Amino acid sequence: MSFVLASIAIICSTEAGNLVAAGSPQFSAMFAFGDSLTDPGNNNYLNSLAKANYVPYGVDFNEGPSGRFCNGKTGVDYLGELIEIPVLPAYTSPYAAGKNILRGVNYASAAGGILEETGQNLGERFSLSEQVENFESTLNQLRSQMKDEELSIYLSKALVVMTLGSNDYINNYLQPSFYTTSYIYTPKDYADLLINRYTRQILALHSFGLRKFFLGGIGPLGCIPNQLATNLPPTGKCVDDTNDVVGMFNKRLESLVDELNNKYNGSVFAYGNTFGAFIDILNNAKTYGFSVTDRGCCGIGRNRGQITCLPFSVPCNTRNQYIFWDAFHPTQAANQILARRAYSGSPSDCYPVNIQQMALM
């Protein structure tokens, strides 16, 4: 941990404007692992019900409906802009080859989770372990393009972004009609199970030579339109029980970051407090330019959250004033705020360092 603390001291004494040369990538590459919050279109190539490759998804994205579960850019897209790395290709895309992978690859898969069975009710998806296996495939390609020493330096200076766990609740623990986990595990035991499985995959990536990890926590799932719509009787308020079980996972993840930083000198792990940042946006919506906090811009039923955005649905016109795009996902306006807080936020947003600080380590 002394390495991290010493680095923080150096960074905090540096003028922000001198942190990184303008226009130069702040990491050698970015490799993203996640679910539908960051899937750039990997599920387009899978036999899955969890797809967003149709309008009105992508209505504000320059490529149209690319497979992103949003009206525009995801948090990873915005983070790439902040660290001067071009939009990452989806792993399953035919473009994810040759020189196109040198700045990184996005492996995120809608419905995927930390547990293998998570999301199976929606068809094919890449679980976290499969996403790590897909990274190994990319690594083999990189080995053919770099010498061993060059590759080692490249990997040590790359940013790993991991944002998983939401589906392990939404498409597993909170669906007792499909899954038995809520009968087998208490919320605390389930959080421990997830963290144990998560740790294995984080350390697998670490063993390949990756050294800089941003681990995003789960947002307040009890506040998404789907939970507001399906919680009976409807109260119009966030579902505390859901937020409480998610909070257990987040606390364990933050503790894991401390454990990993203490154990692996020369590496840096950061916890992204997505939950706290999102609650702040919800509680101070007007300050951030939002006027609608409790329903999706596109969807059907109560809170536009009972049925998610269907093909050729007509979305709201004032999308930048909505926090939620559909029953489960934020708008690009909300994604941009979350990315900025991960990049340059205080320790309450990103602990013990933010991504901008991590770039100098």
Contacts of 337 (CB under 8 A, 6+ apart): 277, 281, 288
Q: Could you give the CA distance from residue 207 to residue 92 in angstroms, rounded to a whole number?
A: 24
Of 143, 113, 151, nearest to 130 (Cα)?
113
206 is catalytic: no
Three-state SS for 32? strand
Of 81, 83, 73, nearest to 40 (Cα)?
73
Give whole-number Cα distances, 12 to 113, 157, 335, in Å.
36, 20, 26
- Catalytic residue, candidates 60, 77, 326, 349: 326
Amino acid at 279: I
Phi, psi at residue 140, to the nearest 5°?
A: -65, -35
> With contact defined as beta carbons under 8 Å apart, do 224 and 328 qualify?
yes
Helices (H), the chain: 2-12, 75-82, 128-143, 148-156, 166-168, 181-184, 187-207, 225-230, 240-263, 274-283, 332-344, 355-358
> With contact defined as beta carbons under 8 Å apart, do 270 and 260 qualify?
no
258 is catalytic: no
Using DSSP, how many helices (H) and how many strands (E) does the chain show? 12, 8
- Catalytic residue, candidates 36, 66, 166, 313: 36
Total number of residues shown for the chain: 361
Three-state SS for 308? coil
- Catalytic residue, candidates 39, 60, 329, 349: 329
> With contact defined as beta carbons under 8 Å apart, do 242 and 223 qualify?
no
Residue with tokens 């897909």: 134
Q: What is the DSSP letter of 173?
A: I
Q: What is the DSSP string of 212-275?
A: EEEEEPP--GGGSHHHHHHSSS--SS--HHHHHHHHHHHHHHHHHHHHHHHH-TT-EEEEE-HH
177 is catalytic: no
Of 302, 339, 296, 321, nearest to 56 (Cα)?
296
Catalytic residue numbers, as ranges: 36, 326, 329
